[in-house]
A and B are shown apart, each in its own frame.
Chain A
Amino acid sequence: MTPDAPTTRNVPALLAGLHTEKATATVLVSGTPGGAIHVRDGMVVGMETPGAPGVEVLLLKSHRIAEEDWTAVRATGADPARVALELVAGGLLGAAELEITGRAALFDAAFALALTSPDGWEVTAPRSLLDTGTAVSPDRLVTENARRLRLLANERGATARFARDRLEPAPEARDPRRVARLSARHRTVLTAADGRRTPRDIAFTLGRGLFAVLLDLRDLLAEGFLRSPAAAPAPRPSTAPRTSPAATAAAPHPTAAPLPRRKR
C-alpha cells in the first residue's frame, strides 16, 4: 500500500476518490492477479490484468480481426494506443462494436481483479492503453461486480475458489447424445475444460470473457458434464552427467560406441 494513500481503504474507494477529483491517472494494482486501471477525467476507461482477456485477445482469438490486419495496422506506425481506432477508421471494425468490446473487457477485468484482495496499489501518471472509447464510472463497476458475484455464488470467496478450479470432463461428457443437446457455446467451453485449465485459461483460449466462461462452467458442472480433477503422479529420470563414450580416450572401436543413454 502506498504511504501517501492512508485514507483509501480499498481500490473502489480509491477510484471513487479519483472520480470526485476528475483525475487522470493509472492505478497499478499488485496482487494475484495484479493489473493496471486507467482513469481519465475520473472515469475508468480501461483495465489490463493477466486475470482476464483484454480487447486484443477478444478481437484476435474470436477471429473478429485477422492477425494480419492487426499487424498491418501496427506496421503503419500508428500509436499502439490507437490500433483499435485505426481498425475502425479502416472499416474493419465498427465504432460501436469496439466500444462494446472495450466495455465488456473492462467489466471483465474489473470482475477478475475484484475476486482477490490486492497486495497494494499505487497511483501513477497516466500510461498508454488500447483506446476503445469506453468510459465507465467507478460506481457502475462496483454495482456490476456485485451483480456478477450474486449471479455466480453470492459470495466472493466461493467465486474466487471456483475461478481457480481446473475442472475436467466427467464421464457424462463422453456421451455424444447428451453433449449434442448442449448449445454450441457450452460445447466449446466443455472441450476447453481439460482438467489443466482454470476458467481464466479457458477464457484466454477461447477469447471469451472470464465471467461468461464461469457462467457456462457453472451450468456444465450442474449438468454433470464437468468435475474436479484427480492428481496423477509420475517419476522422473536422472540428470547426472552422462559418461560420454568419447571421453574414454582409448576407445578401440569408435563406431561401437553406443548413443548417449539416459541414466536411470
Chain B
Amino acid sequence: MNDPVQDILVSLRERVMGVSETVLATVDGLVVAADADKTHPESMAALASAALSLGNRLAEQGGTGTLRQLTAQCGAGHVIVTAVGTRALLAVVTDEGIDGLAFDREIPTVVADLKKILANDTA
C-alpha cells in the first residue's frame, strides 16, 4: 500500500497537466515526501523553505497581507511554493505549459488534504 501523502503528490502530477515534480518539506527545509526525478528533493526542500521565509518577509514589507503562494516564473517552466499549514510547504516544479486553471483549482484541496494528514503527526 502506498503512503497517502505520496499518493496525493503523484495524483497532483497526474491531474494537472504540466506539473513535473513536487516536494513536500517541513518549514525548516527537511524533505517529508517527494515525487521527483529530475530535481534533488533535499536541495529543493531547503531552497523552498528559505524562499517561503523570504516571501513572508516580503509580504510583511509590502504590507500585502498573508502570503498565499510564491512563484518563480522562468524561461522553461515555473517553481511554485505554497505553505501547507504552519509546519510544511509544497514546492511544485512545472513546465511552461502548466494548466494554470487546473492547478489553481486543485491546489487548495491538495493543501487541505496534506494538512489533515500532517496534523496527525504527533510524535
Contacts and interface: CB of A to CB of B under 8 A. Distances in A.
B17 A51 contact: yes
Nearest to B27: A239
Contacts of B28: 260
Contacts of A201: 18, 20, 95
Interface in A223-264: 231, 233-241, 260, 262-263
Contact of A236 (B17, B18, B32, B102): B32
A41 interface: no
B37 interface: yes
Interface centre among A33, A51, A197, A204 (most CB of B within 10 A): A204
Given A60-B75, A240-B123, A260-B28, A200 B87 contact: no
20 contacts: A32-B17, A32-B99, A34-B101, A50-B99, A50-B102, A54-B97, A61-B76, A196-B13, A196-B20, A205-B95, A233-B3, A236-B3, A236-B32, A237-B30, A239-B26, A239-B87, A240-B121, A241-B87, A263-B121, A263-B123
A200 B102 CA distance: 16
A67 B97 CA distance: 16
Given A50-B18, A196-B37, A238 B123 contact: yes
Interface in B6-60: 6, 13, 15, 17-18, 20, 26, 28, 30-33, 37
A138 interface: no
Contacts of A61: 76
A121 B92 CA distance: 29
B83 interface: no
B17 A235 contact: no
Which 5 residue pairs across A and B have the least CB separation, nearest first? A50-B99, A240-B121, A238-B121, A236-B33, A233-B2
B3 A237 contact: no
A194 interface: yes
A33 B99 contact: yes
A231 B13 CA distance: 14
B97 A57 contact: yes
Determine the main DSSP class of B at the interface with A. Answer: loop
Interface of A: 30, 32-34, 50-54, 56-57, 60-61, 67, 194, 196-198, 200-201, 204-205, 231, 233-241, 260, 262-263
B95 A60 contact: no
Given A34-B101, A236-B32, A238-B121, A204 B2 contact: no
B122 A34 contact: no
Contacts of A231: 2
B118 A239 contact: yes
Contacts of B95: 201, 204-205
Contacts of A234: 3, 6, 33
A240 B86 CA distance: 11
Nearest to A70: B75
B88 interface: yes
B37 A204 contact: no
Contacts of B1: 233
Interface centre among B1, B17, B31, B121 (most CB of A within 10 A): B17
Contact of B121 (A33, A196, A239): A239
